[in-house]
Amino acid sequence: MDIAIFLNLSNDDEAAILLVDSNLQRENLLPSEKAYAYKLKLDAIKHQGKKNEQDSAICESTDIIGVDSDKSGRQIRRYIRLTELIIPLLDKVDLKIIPVVAGAEVSFLNVKLQVTLNEQMDFMECKLNTRQAKNLKQFYLDSNLDEDKIEEVLLNQEKCKMLRINYYKLKKYFPQSYTAKQCEKALWEILDEWYNQHCA
């Protein structure tokens, strides 16, 4: 490699690291901002040739970043995992609808399942806790995760065992903008009308 090109790349990496360190000093950074900042710094460190591409080396690099940021390497790796989320789910992390740890767990889901998860969360107007996220990840790793299983994990209520309505499938019978609560309200109105016509 031409020495001038090498020096320019090296300077670019140093500049990226300095820029990231400067930005991380800002107060009230969103989780998504931290995630991409840490990823940029990790990529710059790896590009400098200080570490190779092995997982163990990545762990060492995130440990170095953690020391610089007063966080553990594990925390840094969680933030970097957030960059694997689709934008709507990452927005939910910023809005604290999904905790950082939970976001890191569901980042392992493929894009299709992430889209399904986001749609169901919007439809049900619900949050996602860390325990639910870990369950989703485990079901995914076991090749046992689909839209029904996602709904089951999100609902996760004892009362659902008596009569369980698949709101995600019910949604197709109502306007796209309807939430689960609006669908439920409309459903009861339809049942009341049917009862009055046939049973009253």
94 shares its domain with 148: yes
For residue 69, which of 61, 11, 135, 123 has the smallest C-alpha distance? 61
How many independent structural domains does the chain possess? 3
80, 20: one domain: yes
Query: What is the pLDDT tens value at each position of the chain, 200 positions in all?
Result: 333 333 344 456 565 566 666 666 676 889 999 999 888 888 877 766 654 444 455 566 666 565 555 677 888 899 999 999 999 999 999 999 999 999 999 999 999 999 999 999 998 889 999 999 999 999 999 999 999 999 999 987 534 444 566 776 777 888 888 887 888 888 888 887 887 777 75
Domain that holds residue 147: 88-164
Same-domain pairing of 27 and 76 = yes
